[in-house]
């Protein structure tokens, strides 16, 4: 009895465990999807900041080249004003410095991440070093009087061939950031695929569990009601005992036996034999009580038929009229 109760309890606990596993798998899938969306948004924002900083640097480079060419009279006649160019360069330099500070604040979580590589650190250090060199050179030039001409060192701020330049540093930083986010997205995609795989496995186990505890007992119960082999019926009955199908199978078996008993009762009654009353299945069995009263009514009719024979009256329960019934 304890083993049957334990089996029924494991049936229910299995459904709860499978449902909980499916919920956790779906929750992990949703969490991985949300994380991937957040990572993509962070990547777009960071690359956008990097692009804005790079555009400010390009404007500064263009203004420095224009200032260097403004010493020519032909360029001045074409509309180049050194004073206005200096003011624009100063504004662009301040904007580039502001964008660089925002970019450095955005890059700080990446540099402090546990999975950050040395390539990322080196790219950040390169950009910081090159920008400080460019900013100090342009700031030194802008502190000079307006009438001073731009020197050769300032002209070569962005394109020195003897050392690393700012454009190459920004390009390496862009590549390192893209590579880090790509690896991050691959990891999140693996987690999401793993969670989906777990969900599919749980769904498969759910169908298998349902077949084992619902469909298979129903098939065995149908075979149990149809077979006449006592050994097979005993094996099936032992399997169904303790499951949720056990009481139903036992009730159907009792009903089947009762139908067979009622069939034998009616056949004996139709053949003129006096059958035994039906066996009661419960203390207040109406069918048993009805069969008892039916036998009494048949006996009364038979006694009435015997009395009628003494006066040569026809009776429906004698042997002469039984075939007509």
55 and 124 housed in the same domain: yes
- 80 plus 195 within the same structural domain: yes
Q: Is the dihedral of CA 56, 58, 64, 67 positive or negative?
A: negative
Q: Looking at 207, 230, 253, which one is the last position of a domain?
A: 207
Please report which confidence band the pLDDT of residue 77 belongs to, taking 50, 70 and 90 as the band edges. Answer: very low
Instruction: Give 38-65 pLDDT, tens digit per residue.
Output: 999 999 999 999 999 999 988 888 888 7
Q: Single out the residue in 152, 186, 207 at which a domain terminates.
A: 207
Q: Exposed, middle or buried, 323 (CB in 10 Å: 0-12/13-18/19+)?
A: exposed
With a CB cutoff of 8 Å and minimum separation 6, the contacts of 235 are none
- Kindly state whether residue 122 falls inside one of the protein's structural domains: yes
Residue 183 belongs to what domain range? 2-207
Residue 240 lies in a domain: no
Which ranges of 70-165 does DSSP label H, i.e. alpha helix? 73-77, 82-112, 118-142, 152-155
Tell whether 74 and 135 lie within a shared domain. Answer: yes
Task: Judge whether 231 lies within some domain.
Answer: no
Mean pLDDT of the chain: 79
Same domain, 290 and 145: no
221-237, pLDDT tens digit by residue? 787 777 777 777 777 77
Q: What's 113's DSSP letter? A: S
User: Strand, coil or helix: what is 171?
Assistant: helix
Domain boundary (207, 233, 266) is at 207
Q: Report if residue 221 sits inside a domain.
A: no
Residues 54, 134 within the same domain = yes
Whether the pLDDT of residue 3 is over 60: the answer is no
* pLDDT the model gives residue 114: 76
Considering the domain architecture, whether residues 203 and 299 belong to the same structural domain is answered as no
Tally of domains within the chain: 2
How far apart (Å, rounded) are the C-alpha atoms in residues 222 and 211? 15
Provide the pLDDT for residue 182.
92
pTM higher than 0.85:
no
Q: Is residue 143 assigned to a domain? A: yes
Average pLDDT over residues 244-264: 79
- One domain, residues 176 and 271: no
Q: Are residues 21 and 83 in the same domain?
A: yes
Highest-pLDDT range among 4-13, 87-96, 226-235, 281-290:
87-96
**In CATH, what number is assigned to the domain containing residue 30?**
1.20.120.30
Whether residue 215 lies inside any domain: the answer is no
Say what the pLDDT of residue 53 is: 93
- Assigned domain for 223 exists: no
What whole-number percentage of the chain has pLDDT above 70?
Answer: 81
Residue 198 has a pLDDT of: 93
Residue 121 scores a pLDDT above 70: yes
- Tell me: pLDDT of 249 over 80: no
| 195 and 274 co-located in one domain | no
Quick check: is 74 in a domain?
Answer: yes
Contact (Cβ atoms closer than 8 angstroms) between residue 281 and residue 297: no
Looking at residues 190-214, what average pLDDT do you find? 91
Same domain, 190 and 265: no
pLDDT-above-90 percentage for the chain: 28
Query: How many helices (H) and strands (E) are present in the chain, helices listed first?
Result: 10, 0
Residue with tokens 């038979």: 302
Q: How confident is the model at residue 324 (pLDDT cuts 50, 70, 90)?
A: very low
Q: How high is the pLDDT of residue 113?
A: 80
CA–CA separation, 103 and 93 (whole Å): 15
Q: Does 314 have pLDDT greater than 50?
A: yes
Does 139 lie in the same domain as 14? yes
pLDDT tier, 201 (very low <50, low <70, confident <90, very high otherwise): very high
- Ranking 69-78, 96-105, 280-289 by mean pLDDT, the lowest is 69-78
More confident residue, 163 or 27: 27
Taking residues 136-152, report their average pLDDT.
Answer: 72
Confidence of residue 156 (pLDDT cuts 50, 70, 90): low
- Residues 26 and 111 placed together within one structural domain of the fold: yes
SS3 of 11, please?
Answer: helix
Look at the block and give the residue holding tokens 């109760």: 5
């Amino acid at each position: 009895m304890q083993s049957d109760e334990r089996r029924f309890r494991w049936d229910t606990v299995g459904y709860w465990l499978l449902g909980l596993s499916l919920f956790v798998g779906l929750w992990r899938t949703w969490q991985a999807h949300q994380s991937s969306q957040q990572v993509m948004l962070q990547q777009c924002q960071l690359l956008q900041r990097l692009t804005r900083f790079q555009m400010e640097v390009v404007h500064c480079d263009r203004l420095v080249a224009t200032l260097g060419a403004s010493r020519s009279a032909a360029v001045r006649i074409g509309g180049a004003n050194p004073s206005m160019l200096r003011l624009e360069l100063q504004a662009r330099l301040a904007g580039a410095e502001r964008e660089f500070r925002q970019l450095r604040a955005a890059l700080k979580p990446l540099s402090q991440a546990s999975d950050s590589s040395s390539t990322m650190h080196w790219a950040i250090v390169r950009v910081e070093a090159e920008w400080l060199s460019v900013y100090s050179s342009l700031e030194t030039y802008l502190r000079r009087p307006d009438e001073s001409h731009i020197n050769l060192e300032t002209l070569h701020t962005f394109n020195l061939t003897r050392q690393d330049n700012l454009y190459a540093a920004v390009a390496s930083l862009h590549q390192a950031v893209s590579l880090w986010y790509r690896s991050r997205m691959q990891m999140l995609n693996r987690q999401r695929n793993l969670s989906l795989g777990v969900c599919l496995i749980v769904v498969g186990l759910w169908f298998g569990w349902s077949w084992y505890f619902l469909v298979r007992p129903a098939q065995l119960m149908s075979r149990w009601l149809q077979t006449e082999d006592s050994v097979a019926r005993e094996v099936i009955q032992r399997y169904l005992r303790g499951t949720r199908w056990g009481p139903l199978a036992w009730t159907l078996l009792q009903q089947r036996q009762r139908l067979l008993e009622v069939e034998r009762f009616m056949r004996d009654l139709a053949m003129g034999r006096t059958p035994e009353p039906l066996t009661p299945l419960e203390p207040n069995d109406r069918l048993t009580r009805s069969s008892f009263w039916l036998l009494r009514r048949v006996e009364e009719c038979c006694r009435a038929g015997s009395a009628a024979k003494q006066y040569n009256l026809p009776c429906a329960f004698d042997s002469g009229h039984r075939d007509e019934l």
